[in-house]
Amino acid sequence: MPSSCPKCHRVLEEDEICCALVHYAWRCTRCYKLTTVLAIPFGKCFLCGGDVEVLGERDLGDSMRFQAVRDAVSFELNSFHFFRLARERARTPEQGIVLEHLYEEGLEHLHRLEEKYHAHLDPEMAERASDEEILDSDWAFRGMRVGEDSAVEELYRLALEIERRARDHFRGLAGRFALGLENELCRELAAEEDEHIAMLETELEQIA
């Protein structure tokens, strides 16, 4: 039977999990990496080793009113569709395996973004047929192409470049806001991209 999330008030289908089960949120005081899980934080930030602080209740309301969240959702959607389109055009088994992995990671990142910032999207947005012209014109993907002879390492470097562009965008955006909530959101999302970059670099090291 449908119910509603007590935090963001989104209507939930039966057995669906939303923000209500996220009991703790903490953030690194050095890199601003935001973590939301069911456990109390222990030790240092796993990303940079900085101290972590537990955040109190933070009601963003309609999170899409913040430019940083809008940009993050747009980027993750386009990243997801970029690798979906590339996956469908894979010419070798090796390309197919890597592009499938990057596509699945993009979907996971999108869901994680929804959970952290309550930016709930229409499910059709992730399943819709994407217009390639939108990806071609997006700042993060300009000039990006997957060639017929693209090697596995080249595909990982392509993914890394996309994540670095997004990270640099949020760092630059943070400089446009005075200290406060919008500045914090930009720094948190830049740290999120740093985590994605670290994961991809580790995977690349394993195959290089």
Whether residue 102 is found in the same domain as residue 181: yes
The residue type of 24 is Y
46 and 79 together in one domain: no
Total number of domains constituting the chain: 2
Model pLDDT for residues 19-46, shown as the tens digit of each residue: 545 456 788 889 999 887 666 666 788 8
| Residue numbers of the domain that contains 194 | 63-207
Residue 60 confidence (pLDDT) above 90: no
pLDDT in tens, 108-128: 998 888 888 887 666 555 555
Closest by CA position to 86, among listed 139, 138, 155: 155
Of 143, 125, 126, 194, whose CA–CA distance to 166 is shortest?
194
Q: Are residues 89 and 184 in the same domain?
A: yes
Give the model confidence (pLDDT) of 72-84 as tens digits: 998 888 888 888 8
Same domain, 29 and 111: no
Token representation of residue 64: 């899409």
Same domain, 77 and 174: yes
With a cut of 80, say whether residue 63 has pLDDT above it. yes
Pair 49, 102 in one domain = no
CATH at 180: 1.20.1260
Residues linked to residue 37 through DSSP beta bridges, in sequence order: 24
What pTM did the predictor assign? 0.78
d(CA 145, CA 143): 6
